[in-house]
Amino acid sequence: MNEDYNIEPDAELGRTTFEDDNLLKQNTPISKPISPRFHARRASMQEATWTIKDSFHVTTKDVVQRCIHTLIPTTNFFDVIDDRPDLYGPFWITTTVVQALFFSNSITDYVRHLTGSIDNPYSIGKLVSAASIIYGYTAIAAVILWGFLVWNKCNPKLLDCVCIYGYANISWLPVSLMTPPFSLLSSLVSHIIKWILTSVGLGISLVFLVRNLYPVCQQAGTYLCKLSMGGIIILHILLAITLQLVFFK
For residue 121, state whether it binds another protein (rule: CB under 8 A): yes
For residue 88, the surrounding DSSP H or E stretch is helix 88-115
Q: How far is the CB of 72 from another protein (least distance, A)?
A: 21
For residue 195, state whether it binds another protein (rule: CB under 8 A): no
Separation between Cα atoms, residue 164 and residue 159, nearest integer Å? 9
Question: Looking at beta carbons only, is 99 or 152 nearer to another protein?
Answer: 99
CA angle 81, 84, 85 (to 5 degrees): 75
How many residues bind another protein, per CB under 8 A?
Answer: 26
Q: Which residues contact 209 (CB under 8 A, 6 or more apart)?
A: 164, 165, 168, 232, 236
Question: Looking at beta carbons only, is 89 or 156 nearer to another protein?
Answer: 89
Task: Work out which of 12, 13, 14, 58 binds another protein, going by CB under 8 A.
Answer: 58
For residue 135, state whether it binds another protein (rule: CB under 8 A): no
Separation between Cα atoms, residue 68 and residue 59, nearest integer Å? 15
For residue 150, state whether it binds another protein (rule: CB under 8 A): no
In one-letter notation, the amino acid at residue 160 is D
What residues make contact with another protein under the rule CB under 8 A?
A: 52-53, 56, 58-61, 63, 88, 92, 95-96, 99, 102-103, 106, 110, 119-125, 127-128
